[in-house]
Structure 1
């Protein structure tokens, strides 16, 4: 049913929990596993004019690379030998959907904080945006949130 499983990660504990589900799906279906981190730099560039020349971008990129490397290690510990990783720059939900389309992904597994009420409406959700725009199923793994 699934030949390619994508798990976007921000390096958080929630992403690691979602990765557990993605790893399980990949194992059950003998599927390829993909890990993606998106650097959301648009807001930072607007706030810091000399952003492109600063080391902030390098630190963000390093943190993103560490996030996908950690996910790769988590998958390898579970017995998955090959994990394709990528660090992209852009609007997170747009980059996730673009990655799905470019890599023939069958399912996306993402963490969601499970916010409700006004905080959900104010803050928004990358996962919710992916659910709405994705051409493939999205498994949203609730990892915390407000009551």
Structure 2
């Protein structure tokens, strides 16, 4: 049913929780995981330290998945996660995206009150992906 499950991870506990669920789903459907970490285009940190951190985040996901026999492709990219996540997911050829409602940057939230969906708030990257993705998105709360 799902050949490739994309899981965008930012290094937060929330991201790792979404990755754990993506791995469980991958086991059930014999899917592959596309682990995605985006290095922000305009960071105040050095690129080398950001890259090292991103590599460590993706390695943690890969190790967990490989321990249970799931194939993982790591994607470490420089982009704007808010603007580019749909394109990034499209490039992984994912048929499902598993993403947490919140991420490392918890001060950027969007409310669905205007749409009468709920009063819950979710991160801006997750919200934009929900609105624009052409594949199913599983939002983890």
Q: Give the TM bin, normalised by the shorter chain.
A: 0.7 to 0.9
Q: Is the contact made by 1:92 and 1:126 (CA closer than 8 Å) also made in structure 2? A: yes
Q: How many residues align?
A: 128
**Greater share of strand:** 2
Q: How do 1:68-83 and structure 2 match up within 5 A?
A: 68-80=58-70, 82-83=71-72
CA RMSD of aligned residues (A): 2.4
**Greater share of helix:** 1
C-alpha distance in structure 1 between counterparts of 2:91 and 2:108, whole Å: 33
Higher Rg: 1
Q: For structure 2, which runs of at least 5 residues remain unmatched after alignment?
A: 112-121
Which deviations, in whole Å up to 9, do the C-alpha atoms of 1:90-138 show, x marking residues without a partner? 1114433112222321000011139xxx973499521111111111111
Compute the TM-score of the two structures, normalised by the length of structure 2.
0.80
Compute the TM-score of the two structures, normalised by the length of structure 1.
0.77
C-alpha distance in structure 2 between counterparts of 1:113 and 1:100, whole Å: 18
Aligned to 1:91: 80
Instruction: Report SS of the residue matched to 2:99.
Output: strand
